[in-house]
Amino acid sequence: MRVTAFYQDITRVKADIFIAGVAAEVKPPRGLVGKVDWYLGGFISRQVLDESLHGKEGEMTLVAIQEKLLTPRLLLVGMGAPSGLDRSEASRYFGGVGKVVRDLGLTSVALEIPSMETPRSGSYGILRETLSGFRESFREGDVPLHCEIQILARTESESEGWRKVIRGLPR
């Protein structure tokens, strides 16, 4: 599994799928979801207003981006209350996401780690659990798949922080 982190406009990100968390009762969408929503002309916001998308924990919605961006799909994953993830939740959250990625036969994902303003001391554990969730879900299939994970940072300094965390991870 190859893991990278970078800060780049989403119009230049090429992956099989974007993965972003949606917290319950957070309106309008923010972060990666908000940016994709803007390029989709408010499609995600309309889904929230129409109550088709709730952000409940475990809820997953696959959205076709239809050539608006280089990455053709977006997986919205409900996170429940907007309090963010801790280490114990990260493996479970991303394990379920990893199963969807595996089942779709995708090999590259671009994701935003929810509610991490800046990588900090707990970031190592959250990233390790995130990758653990992905690895386990990819081992469960009949054929082990390999996946490239691109962590999308909100700023260049956050990107450098994630790179430091990645360098410290076991290979």
Q: What is the 3-state secondary structure (H, E, C) of 52-98?
A: CCCCCCCCEEEEECCCCCCCCEEEEEEEECCCCCCHHHHHHHHHHHH
The structure tokens listed for 139 are 């081992």
Q: Is 158 exposed, middle or buried (0-12, 13-18, 19+ CB in 10 A)?
A: buried
Write down how long the chain is.
171
Residue 68 to residue 24: CA distance in whole angstroms: 26
Name the residue ranges covered by the structural domains of the chain: 2-167
> pTM above 0.75?
yes
pLDDT in tens, the chain (171 residues): 788 888 888 899 999 999 887 777 767 777 888 888 898 898 888 888 888 888 787 788 899 987 889 999 999 888 776 665 566 666 667 767 888 888 888 889 998 876 544 445 556 667 777 777 777 776 665 545 678 889 888 888 888 888 888 887 666
Residue 83 to residue 24: CA distance in whole angstroms: 10
Q: What is the largest CA-CA distance in the chain?
A: 44
Q: Is the peptide bond before 114 cis (omega within 30 degrees of 0)?
A: no
Evaluate whether the domain defined by 2-167 bears CATH number 1.20.1250.20. no
Q: List the alpha helices (DSSP H) in the chain.
A: 31-39, 43-49, 87-104, 123-139, 156-167
